[in-house]
Amino acid sequence: MPDRDVLWQYVPRENIVIEALDLQAAVYMRPTGETHILSTLPAEILIHLMTGEKTEQGILQAIENAHGLTSDADWRVQIHASLMQMQSLGLTTP
């Protein structure tokens, strides 16, 4: 089960370049030289983490506020999965 109390953070800002690419985002990691193309949800999560560390609930809330949406359980699962995937890429850390 996702741990809702864990605070997630973005990698140090100086280590990353993130640029919008249509509905997605291109990310360049300065320490490794890796490039990633992120789909909409992970890109949005990164953008919200840029304003400060957040729990999964905090991220969900930020997305709801940004888009005037009401989320459901499936959103939480997708956010958790995106955070895990981005963690494996070195883009976020708990």
Partner 1 sequence: MKLDDLPLPALHQSCLENSLQLRTGPFVTRLGTSYHGLIEQLGFFYSNHEVIQAPWVADFHVRILRPVSVRRIWRPQINFFLDAKHPFEPYALEQALPLFEWGLNWCIATHAHQFLMLHAAVLERDGHALLLPATPGSGKSTLCAALAHRGWRLLSDEFGLIRPETGDVWPLPKPIPLKNRSIEVIREAIPEAQVGPLFTGTRKGDVAHVKPPCDSTRRQQEPARPAWILFPRYQSGSPTRLQVQTPELGFVRLSRNSFNYRIMGETGFRGVLRLVQNCSIHQLIYSRLDEALRLLAQLPVPDGNGTT
| Residues within the interface to partner 1 (CB under 8 A) | 17, 19, 21-22, 24, 26, 28, 30, 33, 35, 37
Distance CA 60, CA 82 (A): 12
Length in residues, the chain: 94
Q: How far is the CB of 78 from partner 1 (least distance, A)?
A: 19
Q: Are 79 and 45 in contact (CB under 8 A)?
A: yes
Strand partners, 28: 17, 35
Q: How far is the CB of 86 from partner 1 (least distance, A)?
A: 17
Instruction: Give 32 or 65: the residue with its C-beta nearer to partner 1.
Output: 32
Q: How far is the CB of 49 from partner 1 (least distance, A)?
A: 21
- Encoded amino acid at 75, one letter: W
